[in-house]
Structure 1
């Protein structure tokens, strides 16, 4: 439900910055062995040397070790990971020719390696498509052999994927958590959380914590006990390849490095009607503001900058405000988004004369055009803005309200605690 106290932009493009992962993951080392002339595979072993039956493949990404042709990437012991190029190798021998043809006759282009030990397709596989693989190769003992096998790429319904909020080599604010939202309900949160890892230099104390996103999807955030220190190098790893989630399986593998920028911390005092901006612990400016009026009070607690846009239309109908309180402003300047429910810090020249004196907004933090431009230029994605002396505290899932949960409670939200 949208926040009836906030004016959301009419433009659908002004949502928090999140990067949608492609459904496919990086190729894994998981391999499938194909025996010559469509004979049944035998002698398969798992990673611990345990004998496994091909009719009952091991859960998760697996590798069979019998001689023949090996195919990657696969998951669940049988299915090809969609979107990834197919790699074929001759176990202990050399390939002479390989063809991978989709149902309907469309072949995947590809080429042999210079030494003849592997073949890779130039393009990835399509969701839910069955492919016939035919290979001619010389076995380790010098004998000529052929192998044919059908493999099927996982369908969209068979996989679960995540969305994460940090970009490679980016610089973010000191309050940004690492956040992942999943497209399917997560039935085994511990199994998924084990495959998510955040490491830092210098080391910091941090924890994952699970919640529901505003649209009801499962979400897990990682934050340190205190704000990140400027200059911290952060590495986020996600390796869900082969992780079982009910009837779905994970296919994603990502590694994201990013850096924490300078500390820009803003505090809005609703009672005093001022905003104090500090950089690296030193106050650099105090701005007069006008916050939410009665029944439209600005959220109390810490919010985190989600996005910035120089000009924005704000229409109260998007949050269910009609009648005498309705508004539709088509060119609001210097907009800094703080919550997906519609809280912004922005220029509000129509309230000139009220800054520092009267709280008159519908929940946003308004200021003069000149001050709003200064603030817009000063802050960036991940910087915290904390409101004090207001009423209701912003929800943990309304943007990144993570900092409004005490550390012990935050840790208790981990599936591994």
Structure 2
């Protein structure tokens, strides 16, 4: 049930049981202005007529506060009775602000931008009654849900602590034709501030993906916030977003590992201080370990490694049922792990099928040092890891990375 409000204080003055016929609507919001009333006998000021005019002044917002979902075909209108409007603002975090036109006497504002589905809009209207009293009203409404929607799967998750090489990455479940519209509603802020940029790629599964990274690795201790204001955003082809997300995460210590395949050693440092130089056996000829920087994707203490999953068959095939201390670097199957079957090769011969093999003790130690988002950089090998094979983002120079943004 609507309540009568004063224009100056918003104090409830009683229930209204009926509205003037011209303004009766289940989805309209009225604001009545209360004037100062007549001047005291013998005094000066407004006459009683002006006070009566102010008391009957009303601002109507359609659609207004209402539990029902508003059809996207509706036009937003704001009108005033017994006065004029001074400003109208209709905004939504996703689609943004609605444009509109004014009537000649500025008593009516009509939106010219169509509503987006699945979005919540806020209407802020200000005006003045003919007697001079101010009018002000805020209302909100939500539109009907879209029939065809897209969502983005994002990493890192909220509340996590990740390594200095972890990008913000969003993979979408539908093709994004209007990448600029989507990117415009994605925001990353950091403390301390960094110069970062979005870049669009195709994920290994063929889906559209957009990653955000600084020019260089994050600084340890950086607090990062991702804002996704995608509700009601048209990605093209009538596919609309639904997500409103606020995601905070933190950057941990700078744990960096560098593998030199010619020296067959991997040097591990924390915040610039070298911890250990580990003897390794990486990919042999024809199965060379990827060159460039890879990023830790996950850690599992035990895993089965079956060569058929990475399309290795014949005399090179293998099926290892219990491989220990596994640190995943790429979805294509690159791991750092214990490889006791290669005992005698560590530091001497590269004999794996692309993984970075360690003794069991060294693998256990390495597993305990690294976290998701830590970089592992390989030098002296052949092909550079693809940008979409995990997070190969850091192998793209900064100028080229920025060129991949839709808003460049």
Please report the TM-score for the alignment, with normalisation by the length of structure 2: 0.70
| Structure 2 counterpart of 1:44, from 77, 94, 115 | 77
- The offset of 1:32, in angstroms, is 4.7
In the alignment, is the contact (CA less than 8 A) between 1:184 and 1:218 conserved in 2? yes
Mapped partners of 1:233, 1:42: distance in 2: 42
State yes or no: 1:268 paired with 2:259. yes
State yes or no: 1:163 paired with 2:153. yes
Equivalent residue number for residue 244 of structure 1: 234
Pair 1:270–1:32, CA change in 2 (3 A): farther
- Partner of 2:390, secondary structure, is coil
Mapped partners of 1:341, 1:52: distance in 2: 55
Equivalent residue number for residue 315 of structure 2: 324
| Structure 2 counterpart of 1:176, from 159, 162, 166 | 166
Equivalent residue number for residue 340 of structure 1: 331
State yes or no: 1:285 paired with 2:276. yes
State yes or no: 1:405 paired with 2:368. no
- The offset of 1:41, in angstroms, is 7.4
Of structures 1 and 2, the one scoring higher in RCO (CA 8 A, sep 6+) is: 1
Mapped partners of 1:239, 1:270: distance in 2: 44
- The offset of 1:59, in angstroms, is 3.8
State yes or no: 1:383 paired with 2:365. no
**Count of residue correspondences:** 304
In the alignment, is the contact (CA less than 8 A) between 2:158 and 2:247 conserved in 1? yes
Mapped partners of 1:59, 1:239: distance in 2: 13
Mapped partners of 2:219, 2:312: distance in 1: 40
- Partner of 1:372, secondary structure, is helix
State yes or no: 1:189 paired with 2:246. no
State yes or no: 1:73 paired with 2:142. yes
- The offset of 1:248, in angstroms, is 1.1
**Could you list the runs of 5+ residues in structure 1 that have no partner in the other structure?**
1-30, 80-152
Please report the TM-score for the alignment, with normalisation by the length of structure 1: 0.68
In the alignment, is the contact (CA less than 8 A) between 1:44 and 1:65 conserved in 2? no
Structure 2 matches for 1:207-222, cutoff 5 A? 207-222=197-212
Deviation readout 1:295-327 (Å, 9 max, x if unpaired): 000000000000000000000011111110000
**Could you list the runs of 5+ residues in structure 2 that have no partner in the other structure?**
1-61, 67-72, 79-88, 91-98, 102-108, 126-138
Give RMSD over aligned pairs: 2.7
In the alignment, is the contact (CA less than 8 A) between 1:269 and 1:389 conserved in 2? yes
Structure 2 matches for 1:7-18, cutoff 5 A? none
